[in-house]
Structure 1
Amino acid sequence: MASKALKRAGLSPELCEQLKRHKIESCKDLLTHTAFEAMYAAGLNYQKTLEMMETVSRVIAPPPTTALELWKHHSGSCFSTSIPALDKVLRGGLPCGNITEVTGPSGCGKTQLCLILSVVTTLPKELGGWDRSVIYIDTESAFSAERLVEIAQNRFPDYFTSKEKVLQMAGRVHIFREMTCEDVLRRLEKLEEIIISTRAGLIILDSVASVVRKEFDTTLPGNLMHRSNLLGQEATTLKYLAHQFDIPVVLTNQITTHIGHQGSGSATEGDSGIVTAALGNTWSHSVNTRFIVQYVDGLKRQLLVAKSPVAPFAVLNYTIQKGGIYVNGNDGEDNFYEGTDPTLQTIRVRTAINLDTT
């Protein structure tokens, strides 16, 4: 919350403009100055300066609340995925104010799910949408406007009956292509005003692992710590934005291979290791909900609700069609769950391939 802009902390526009001249634009900027420094920058007397700093302090350190207040505030605050079986498991849909991660091998539908959620966000409320815009941060150049339109027209054919509606939907999905860790973090820190100006109802980061794994060789001294610090900053900023605006944040993640037989800690002849979500155990605690998408055989895939504050572990079989992801009628069958911790849940891939081991 320290990154909150001063204009959203209860200060007058004139005072915010005055402080901006001294490069003080966020709550953090102000509170890192002494009262005398802030007094000079704001052009106020000492008592007024103390009152200003106390006001800002209360904004970033709100008083404790009760479970009843949280329950009343978040009751019914769910975001429909337009996948009925998944919404049922999640008791209404993606929880707002939280971070949801989708992890799995390439080609399993992570980006497809992001595109479906983007379309749903723009739909009118009477159709189960939010009538809001989307902030889509693309770090892999995987976003396809053509595929977005195809999903919209095939998933909601009764609504997208005219070119005008399609164009309106596409115009509300705001794409930001960020190809370095620094660019991603800088974009996240500036999202607050963009969310307000675009009336965003969903933030998507596809993918959180892509730029991090390219820039940090964790076999080099110190890199693992720097990577963890960067991911911590990203998670903190995203959690703040999700909570502040009561909207869902959806991230995609990659997979990694841990060499050695599961449970034994040592490799054996012919053992190719186990595949799990990338970025490690510490990162797994930064997300509130984790979906794992994986192959079963051929075109058949599974979505595992591996971690959720509201839902039990669940397995849904699905296929990818022109309208995106569709859960099969036999969902719940062929449950391959082996009882491991969700953060260490093995992921089924199509074939044995060489994967990044970081």
Structure 2
Amino acid sequence: MATRMLKRTGLSNDVCEQLKRHHIESCKDLLSLTPLEVMHVACLSYQRAIELLQSVSKAVAPPVTTALELCKKQACFSTSLPALDKLLRGGLPCGTITEVTGPSGCGKTQICLMLSVLATMPKSEGGLDSGVIYIDTESAFSAVRLVEIAQSRFPDYFNCRERVLNMAGRVLLCRDLTCQDVLNRLDTLEEDIISSGAGLIILDSVASVVRKEFDTTLPGNLMHRSDLLGHKASTLKYLAHQFNLPVVLTNQITTHLGGHGSEDAGFVTAALGNTWSHSVNTRLILQYVDSHQRQILIAKSPVAPFAVLNYTIEKQGICMDGDDNQETLYEGTDPGLQPIRVQTGFTYNLTQPM
């Protein structure tokens, strides 16, 4: 990936320092120069400049791997929800992008907080024993709720103050509220992963800043937005693959007009369009059943069938209803056009005595 820092490509410290004086720190910075420009900034001969460009180019080229090597490398990150883990063959796949989408109030951020707690826990407890990089674009992160989920869901483990503080200290929160902030963060995330020992990346939410800053009815904005989303997706895929860690994104919903046999028909579906839906490897859709109960739909997965699981949001986070085998299979559709049920109102019994 071109955003990799030069010092991680095997170049000597002297060459890296010389290039840094000219504000050349990433592979992209160097590979955008001509051999003559490299000669000048690196103080090298023409032949050495050519060799330098070739070396860096090979370092960022996607490696060739075998299916056997992939089987040995791939692993899953348990969600602590047995029914969901069973369908996903162990949990969220490492080295890939998982998207959680749904209407407001369905529990997207609750899942992110729950996964953050899990990632910091020891491997013997089902965790990753790692740090978490949590990119918050909506100011929705709550440290109080993080601690509450930890102590309520895993009371036996988080039974002392030291463990709670250690858990909270391993979650690196980044509040990036504009598209440029998010892009800058992603371009330097490789260094943050190494320095913090992160084993999980969360972006909550991928749609928030994009939808606020781009009016797709204006000329050129749709193409610009698509390019930006493509850059985000490629960077996150690279980081997921390079460090073999799970990347979790949350997405919002939008109304899709037309289709379903009527020009006036419309339904709610995941935001950012059909092209974006093919950038994620696994898509989990959250939707309402009623004012209390909700559902997780596995709308896209390379290993799991289309399925639906009922859940509620409690003090300890997401809680599945029934036993571990209560999933219901359903007919899947294009994950970019999967209809989502939203909460349109609540019914109150005003005649019932207090």
Fold shared, TM-score > 0.5 on shorter chain: yes
Q: Given the alignment of the two structures, is residue 322 of structure 1 paired with residue 319 of structure 2, yes or no?
A: no
Q: How many residues align?
A: 346
SS of match in other structure, 1:108: coil
| Distance of 1:45 and 1:204 partners within structure 2 | 44
Indicate the residue corresponding to 1:246 in structure 2.
244
Comparing 308-317 and 102-111, the one that deviates more: 308-317
Counterparts of 1:269-308 in structure 2, within 5 Å, are 273-308=266-301
Unaligned runs of 5+ in 1: 353-358
Q: Compute the displacement of 1:51 (Å).
A: 2.3
| Distance of 1:110 and 1:208 partners within structure 2 | 12
Equivalent residue letter for 2:20: K
User: Is the 1:255–1:277 contact (alpha carbons within 8 Å) kept by the matching residues of 2?
Assistant: yes
Indicate the residue corresponding to 1:130 in structure 2.
128
What is the aligned-residue identity percentage? 71
Offset from partner CA, 1:59-95 (integer Å, 9 cap, x none):
1114432222222322xx1111111111111111111
SS of match in other structure, 2:174: strand
Q: Compute the displacement of 1:32 (Å).
A: 1.3
| Distance of 1:243 and 1:223 partners within structure 2 | 30
Offset from partner CA, 1:111-148 (integer Å, 9 cap, x none):
00000110011001111111111111111111011000
Indicate the residue corresponding to 1:152 in structure 2.
150
User: Is the 1:317–1:332 contact (alpha carbons within 8 Å) kept by the matching residues of 2?
Assistant: no
Equivalent residue letter for 1:328: D
Offset from partner CA, 1:245-264 (integer Å, 9 cap, x none):
1111100000011234x412
Indicate the residue corresponding to 2:166 in structure 1.
168
Cα RMSD after superposing both structures: 1.7
Counterparts of 1:143-222 in structure 2, within 5 Å, are 143-222=141-220
**Aligned pair in 2 of structure 1 residues 167, 32: CA closer, same or farther (>3 Å)?**
same
Indicate the residue corresponding to 1:28 in structure 2.
28
Counterparts of 1:62-81 in structure 2, within 5 Å, are 62-74=62-74, 77-81=75-79
User: Is the 1:102–1:110 contact (alpha carbons within 8 Å) kept by the matching residues of 2?
Assistant: yes
Equivalent residue letter for 2:5: A
Indicate the residue corresponding to 1:356 in structure 2.
none
| Distance of 2:196 and 2:332 partners within structure 1 | 43
Comparing 79-88 and 2-11, the one that deviates more: 79-88
Q: Compute the displacement of 1:299 (Å).
A: 0.7
| Distance of 2:168 and 2:185 partners within structure 1 | 21
Equivalent residue letter for 2:163: K
Q: Given the alignment of the two structures, is residue 45 of structure 1 paired with residue 45 of structure 2, yes or no?
A: yes
Indicate the residue corresponding to 2:261 in structure 1.
264
Q: Given the alignment of the two structures, is residue 344 of structure 1 paired with residue 337 of structure 2, yes or no?
A: yes
| Distance of 2:3 and 2:106 partners within structure 1 | 36
| Distance of 1:167 and 1:25 partners within structure 2 | 35
SS of match in other structure, 1:342: coil
Q: Compute the displacement of 1:296 (Å).
A: 0.8
Q: Compute the displacement of 1:218 (Å).
A: 1.1
Give me the TM-score of the superposition, normalised by structure 2.
Answer: 0.93
Unaligned runs of 5+ in 2: 346-354
| Distance of 1:23 and 1:81 partners within structure 2 | 42
| Distance of 2:256 and 2:27 partners within structure 1 | 42
Indicate the residue corresponding to 2:225 in structure 1.
227
| Distance of 1:118 and 1:326 partners within structure 2 | 16
Indicate the residue corresponding to 2:57 in structure 1.
57
Comparing 30-39 and 170-179, the one that deviates more: 30-39
| Distance of 1:341 and 1:335 partners within structure 2 | 18
Q: Compute the displacement of 1:50 (Å).
A: 2.4
**Aligned pair in 2 of structure 1 residues 331, 88: CA closer, same or farther (>3 Å)?**
closer
| Distance of 2:164 and 2:285 partners within structure 1 | 30
Structure 1 segments (4+ residues) deviating >6 Å: none
SS of match in other structure, 1:231: helix
User: Is the 1:317–1:331 contact (alpha carbons within 8 Å) kept by the matching residues of 2?
Assistant: no
SS of match in other structure, 1:23: coil
Indicate the residue corresponding to 2:8 in structure 1.
8
Give me the TM-score of the superposition, normalised by structure 1.
Answer: 0.92
User: Is the 1:132–1:200 contact (alpha carbons within 8 Å) kept by the matching residues of 2?
Assistant: yes
